[in-house]
Amino acid sequence: MDAVVSYARSAGVRIAFETRGDGSPLLLVHGLGYGRWGWNPVVGPLAKRHRVVLLDNRGIGESDVPSGPYTARMLAEDAVAVLDAAGVERAHVVGTSLGGMIAQELAVEHPDRVERLVLACTTPGGERAAPYPEPTQRLLAEAASLEPAVALRRFVENALAPGAPGPLVDEIVALRLAHPPDPAGWQAQAAAAVAFDGYDRLARIAAPTLILHGTADRVVDCRNALLLAGRIPNARLELFEGLGHLFFWEAPDRFLACVGEFLA
């Protein structure tokens, strides 16, 4: 059965979301260039225990694409509007990559809305964060000179661990081709990631926090997980040895076990 898409209004911007399952509310916030489909490997099992709320961040999917640049705080306000529209007062929040930056903003600025927080393959941002790894910087510089299909596959491969199985790469490439991002929306989201700096506010996060990161992440340096764990009070850290940025696609069962135990 196809999911029923609903819409929240956030400062006049329409934000698409859906809910699945029953139980304690769980908000999933994805990263740059990925819509709700980006949670495909884990959303079904999570919905067996939780009322899962998935959104398309502004700029992608079925959400509006207002002119940018966006900010993480703006995107966090969109997430609050989605919780309001879904009738959710307080939720566990899982954010990955740019979604992890949005989740940090949510936990700092709206602590009453966040029960437990999971930050996956993300960064505190700013000058004190570990910079983007060299493979990603090289690929970004080279991408404009590549055929679009080649560039897309290279970006997917870069988001997985070196030597990731071809069928997994094919699956994600097919999904990205089926859900192409709006170029203006992608740029506006990217601006939010580049400008984000939550380092000095991490101590204000009161929600119990779990930090997850793949040690072979070529998109967000794994050292950022250590920074987050060192500055968020009583945070727990678990590293996924040898896995990449999309580690929950590479090892969904382990991701589900970690998150399930933490949220329980």
> Measuring CA to CA, which residue among 73, 193, 188 is closest to residue 132?
193
| Alpha-carbon gap, residue 87 to 80, rounded angstroms | 11
Q: Where are the domains of the chain?
A: 6-131+183-263
CATH number for 6-131+183-263 (one of 3.20.130.10, 3.30.2010.20, 3.40.50.1820, 3.10.28.10): it is 3.40.50.1820
Looking only at the bridges linking them, the beta strands covering 24-29 and 91-96 are parallel
What is the β-pairing status of strands 91-96 and 114-120? parallel
- The whole-number pLDDT of residue 1 equals 43
All residues at 6 or more sequence positions from 144 whose CB lies less than 8 Å from its CB, including other chains:
none
Partners of 9 in the beta sheet? Answer: 14
Each as own residue / partner, the long-range contacts of residues 256-261 (CB below 8 Å, 24 or more positions apart, any chain) are: 256/42, 256/45, 256/46, 258/210, 258/212, 259/42, 259/46, 259/94, 259/118, 259/210, 259/212, 260/49
Task: Tell me if 49 sits within 8 A of 20, measured CB to CB.
Answer: no
Structure tokens at 237: 């850290």
Res 190: pLDDT: 94
pLDDT given at position 2? 58
Please report the pLDDT score of residue 3 as a whole number.
76
Helix axes 183-195, 98-109, angle to 10 degrees: 60
Q: Which two tokens stand for residue 188?
A: 């506006």
Tens place of pLDDT for every residue, the chain, 264 residues? Answer: 457 899 999 999 999 999 999 999 999 999 999 999 999 999 999 999 999 999 999 999 999 999 999 999 999 999 999 999 999 999 999 999 999 999 999 999 999 999 999 999 999 999 999 999 999 999 999 988 999 999 999 999 999 999 999 999 999 999 999 999 899 999 999 999 999 999 999 999 999 999 999 999 999 999 999 999 999 999 999 999 999 999 999 999 999 999 999 999
For residues 84 and 113, give the distance between their C-alpha atoms in angstroms, rounded to a whole number: 10
Which amino acid appears at position 28 of this protein? L
Please state, in angstroms and rounded to a whole number, the distance separating the CA atoms of residues 56 and 75: 10
